[in-house]
Amino acid sequence: MALHPQRARLFAAAVPAALLALLLPSFTVPASALDNDTSPARGSAYMGMGVLAHDGSSPAPGGPRAGQTEGVDVASYQGDVAWSTLWNSGVRWAYTKATEGTYYTNPYFSGQYTGAHGVGMVRGSYHFATPDTTGGAAQADYFVDHGGGWSKDGVTLPGVLDIEWNPYGGDCYGKTPSAMVTWIRDFLNRYKSRTGRAAVIYTATSWWKTCTGNYAGFAAANPLWIARYASTVGDLPAGWSAYTMWQYTSTGPTVGDHDRFNGSTDKLREFATG
């Protein structure tokens, strides 16, 4: 399947390190983040960026599924989102990218986050993890300080740790499975201590098996958002017997990335409330 044109441009972007300071003045890129000239620009990653490249896709599930609630996820490349169009099509929840590493904040975050809420959606924010740049606790702090907080108001979903294929270098960010598990644990522990709520883990089963050794220890406390572009979710990472959310396509209507919450809209609001 061909990538969406906007996504293709992100994958193809080759920005020399010497130009980064001019092109991306809103944040400082750590030296370790400048991998090579063929990588996309730091900050351009989004939820599911590597799913097509590593796992491919097959036809998405057809039509609404009873007992599930449609959602979307967005990032800066989608810009100003047609939230009313999404609402009228049946979308009832949304996540927007807030941060990446400790060096990037989404310039469209405020408009996307408040726009979803403005049409009646339950909404939340996610953090794109870069375990090769800074520690898990530091990235959790950065996330919470830049839009990743949570409040028990019934319309704010818990923050999401987006931990997946590395678009900037080696798949596992240069970490062994045990080191990766430690990094994830540090992020989750700090997020819980800052917000009082367990973060959701977004990942692909293939990445989780490769880069954590299929670690099962987070399933008891942290909800799973599984990424698989197919008619079924397939195998889940070890420890989880069910998913909370499923990103099932990158070619859905209006924004591309479409998801399903594994429950009714009432259950969705209960989940938001915690």
Asked if 162 is an active-site residue, the reply is: yes
Beta strand 224-227 pairing with 256-261: unpaired
Catalytic residue among 73, 100, 257, 259: 73
Count Cβ neighbours within 10 Å for each residue of 79-90 and write b for 16 or more, e otherwise. Answer: eebebeebbeee
Of 81, 68, 138, 90, nearest to 109 by C-alpha is: 81
Asked if 164 is an active-site residue, the reply is: yes
The separation between the first and the last C-alpha atoms of the chain, rounded to the nearest angstrom, is 38
Catalytic residue among 132, 164, 257, 259: 164
Contacts of 66 (CB under 8 A, 6+ apart): none
Asked if 100 is an active-site residue, the reply is: no
How many whole angstroms separate alpha carbon 239 and alpha carbon 253? 33
Catalytic residue among 55, 100, 141, 162: 162
Residues with catalytic function: 73, 162, 164
